[in-house]
Amino acid sequence: MSAIANRRAFLERATALVRKSSPDLNDLSEVCETLANVMTDIIGAECRIVIKCDAKQLERAIQIAEAAEKEAQ
């Protein structure tokens, strides 16, 4: 995609994330991916976004999300 298209895609994904009442990992992933594309365009070198989090907190968050998903079914 062109630099303008990448910036537009980033803005669309970020706006959707902000407007969504319950964003999920897919929403976050799309924002990160499109931001990396914009950064690549600006810097001129391949960029990617790396997220670091505490493993225990992540495991607990996954358990909570899975329990909520089961309740919704």
Give the list of residues 6+ apart from residue 32 with CB closer than 8 angstroms, or none.
Answer: 49, 51
- Asked if pLDDT for residue 1 goes beyond 90, the answer is no
Secondary structure, 3-state, the chain:
CCHHHHHHHHHHHHHHHHHCCCCCHHHHHHHHHHHHHHHHHHHCCCCCCCCCCCHHHHHHHHHHHHHHHHHHC
**Domain spans of the chain?**
3-72
Res. 72 pLDDT band, cuts 50 70 90: confident
For 33-44, the pLDDT digits (tens) are 999 999 999 999
Range of weakest confidence among 10-19, 29-38, 64-73: 64-73
The model's pTM: 0.77
